Amino acid sequence: MWLTVLGAVLAYVPALVSNSLAVVFGGGTPMDFGFELKDGRLLGDGKTWRGFIGGGLSAALIGLVLALLLGDHLPMYPPSCRAVWIIMALSFGALLGDVGASFFKRRSGRERGKKTPVVDQYDFILGSFLAVILTAPDWTLNTYFRGDGIWAMMIILIGSPLLHKAVNVIGYRLGYKEEPW
């Protein structure tokens, strides 16, 4: 059972690392190209194309390497190229969740970078699960919603805010991030 849970948690790594990698790659042209709505910027300068593409592809690459190294020993993804689509959905879905959150943060008058509890911790989880359930519904339900998969989901829900807290503080100390959240 624990091998199944470990495989499911490791399969989720692309979603866990894409936003942190976006911080490393970020900068340059904003995703909203500076577009303003009546109540402020569409997304803000904190969401850039370099961060989105660089973070998404590098996180997917990490997922692919993990799958190649561990896939024979742990139950991770379905075989063949379907795995690639799942990995991309997790990685880019997590980034889109964060982008979506920025849209709502701007609508509620929060400036770029302002701390938004709960939203900042769970936006990427929501985005990644929405994307992967659309891409591979059976795999997603079996891996995270049924049977022992529930344990993997619990570990992700409880563990990833703690992980991101740690990574964000480290990113802030190293000067990558402007705020420690």
Expressed in angstroms, the distance from the first to the final Cα of the chain is: 34
> Which of 31, 50, 51, 19 lies closest to 125 in space, CA to CA?
19
Q: How far is the CB of 58 from ligand CTP (least distance, A)?
A: 12
Q: Which is nearer to ligand CTP, 6 or 99 (CB)?
A: 99
Q: Which amino acid is at 1?
A: M
Decide: is 48 part of the binding site for ligand CTP (CB under 6 A): yes
Q: Which of residues 7, 46, 63, 127 is near ligand CTP by CB under 6 A?
A: 46
Among 88, 95, 132, 153, binds ligand CTP (CB under 6 A): 95
Minimum distance of ligand CTP from residue 124's CB (angstroms) = 9
Stretch that binds ligand CTP, among 6-14, 48-56, 73-81, 125-133 (CB under 6 A): 48-56
Task: Give the interface segment with ligand CTP, choosing from 9-17, 61-69, 84-92, 96-104 (CB under 6 A).
Answer: 96-104
The least distance separating ligand CTP from the CB of residue 142, rounded to whole angstroms, comes to 30
Binding segment toward ligand CTP, per CB under 6 A, in 64-72, 95-103, 128-136, 137-145: 95-103
- Spatial CA neighbour of 167 closest among 3, 20, 35, 61: 20
The reply on whether position 18 binds ligand CTP by CB under 6 A is no
Name the residue nearer to ligand CTP (CB basis): 7 or 30: 30
Binding-site ranges for ligand CTP (CB under 6 A):
22-23, 26, 44, 46-48, 51-52, 95, 98-99, 102, 105, 112-114, 177
